[in-house]
A = this chain, B = another copy of it.
Amino acid sequence: MSYKQILYNTPPTDAINPSLTTTDGTFRLSTIPKPSNVPADKLLVRVHYLSLDPAMRQWLTAKRSYIAPVELGAIMRGQSIAQIITVGSELSSKFKSGDWVVAYSGWTEYALLSAKEVEPFSVPAGGRPTDAMSVLGMTGLTAYFGMTEVGKTKVGDTVVVSGAAGATGSVAGQIARIQGAKRVIGLAGSKDKCEFLVKELGFDAAVNYKDADWKKQLKEATPEYIDVFFDNTGGEILDACLARANRDARFVICGAISQYNTSKPKGPASFMTVISQRVTMKGFIVFDYAKQYASAVQELGSWLAQGKLKRKEHIVPGGIEGAPQALVDLYKGVNTGKMMVEVAPVSEALPSKSKL
């Protein structure tokens, strides 16, 4: 028996080329034999869902960053939701076949991983395995720490979130509301997304940045200026929000998806406002808050259970071969909520202690 992996093939100059069959494709498909036995210190896992994250484009660029770039020829890096199939003899006290884990597997159908490369979780009542990778996982935690620790959102603030219909943005806006923000405004790239933000997530307003008059709409939506801006997009949107910054505003620089697929990024031209309004812009990486993950997941979980926090998933079916195109689509903004590729449906999972 064999299984499929997707390898990093060749560095993109600007946009990712999703073709798996041409030599200039960013990725290529590889088929390898399934291991016949599992080493004593390893776990054999089956991947069910791949996480697609805006940061991935950065991992393909050999620049100084918070993480080393993916090596050419290596499996494309990424988190997944996986299930343990076979447990190596040395690990049998810690893991059981059927356990769900968040795995640092990369883009593969199966993987032999060490104990350090997986994080077990149990699916809470009313929850789904994929929650561990979205609202209760990295994107939820990113929203949580960005809004609380970096943005220091407080009662009465006007909070604007860009990429607001995305995995992190949608959670960030809801957290702002929970923290007592006076107004929560989302920026998103379609009418449907804007409706989702206002009607389903309870944002006070949403602005479609593809509308010709979006800057005017943003101005009207922020009559008392912006106290906290949670930025996932960078570029023109960051610029327009800087122009609306209130005195002592906090700009949480979480991502800059508009700038990832270009070799000629643009910075915020309204930079003068940083001085005149005493703006603090702070970049952060969720990893820095690892010691507080457990308590944050608990709080996010309780909000989810209480209905204060709503999750949204965008699952791309059809197997692992769809991952490169799905990543391209992520940068095009086709998703509302957390984007994942279904490598194998939950219905194919082994029976486990976790509730599905």
A binding-site residues for B, Cβ under 8 Å? 58, 63-66, 234, 239, 253-256, 259, 264-285, 288
Smallest CB separation, A197 vs chain B (Å): 24
A271–B268 contact, CB under 8 A? yes
27 contacts between A and B (CB under 8 A): A63-B272, A64-B273, A64-B276, A65-B272, A65-B276, A66-B276, A66-B277, A239-B267, A256-B272, A259-B271, A265-B269, A267-B268, A267-B270, A267-B271, A268-B268, A274-B281, A274-B283, A275-B283, A275-B284, A275-B285, A276-B285, A278-B285, A279-B282, A279-B283, A280-B280, A280-B283, A281-B282
A283–B277 contact, CB under 8 A? yes
Residue of A266, A271, A282 with most partner-chain B CB within 10 A? A271
Smallest CB separation, A114 vs chain B (Å): 27
Chain B residues contacting A285 (CB-CB under 8 Å) are 275-276, 278
Chain B residues contacting A58 (CB-CB under 8 Å) are 272, 276
B272–A265 contact, CB under 8 A? yes
Residue of A254, A270, A275, A284 with most partner-chain B CB within 10 A? A275
The distance in angstroms between the C-alpha atoms of A282 and B64, with both chains bound, is: 23
Smallest CB separation, A100 vs chain B (Å): 30
Question: Which of B239, B254, B278 interacts with A275 by CB under 8 Å?
Answer: B254
The distance in angstroms between the C-alpha atoms of A280 and B278, with both chains bound, is: 12
Chain B residues contacting A288 (CB-CB under 8 Å) are 278
Chain B residues contacting A271 (CB-CB under 8 Å) are 234, 253, 256, 259, 265, 267-268
Smallest CB separation, A156 vs chain B (Å): 21
Chain B residues contacting A276 (CB-CB under 8 Å) are 58, 64-66, 283, 285
Chain B residues contacting A66 (CB-CB under 8 Å) are 275-278
Smallest CB separation, A162 vs chain B (Å): 14
The answer to whether A253 and B274 touch (CB under 8 A), given A279-B283, A283-B279, is yes
Chain B residues contacting A274 (CB-CB under 8 Å) are 253, 281-283
The distance in angstroms between the C-alpha atoms of A268 and B64, with both chains bound, is: 17
Chain B residues contacting A284 (CB-CB under 8 Å) are 275, 278
Chain B residue with the shortest CB-CB distance to A281: B281
The distance in angstroms between the C-alpha atoms of A270 and B234, with both chains bound, is: 12
Chain B residue with the shortest CB-CB distance to A55: B275
Smallest CB separation, A124 vs chain B (Å): 31
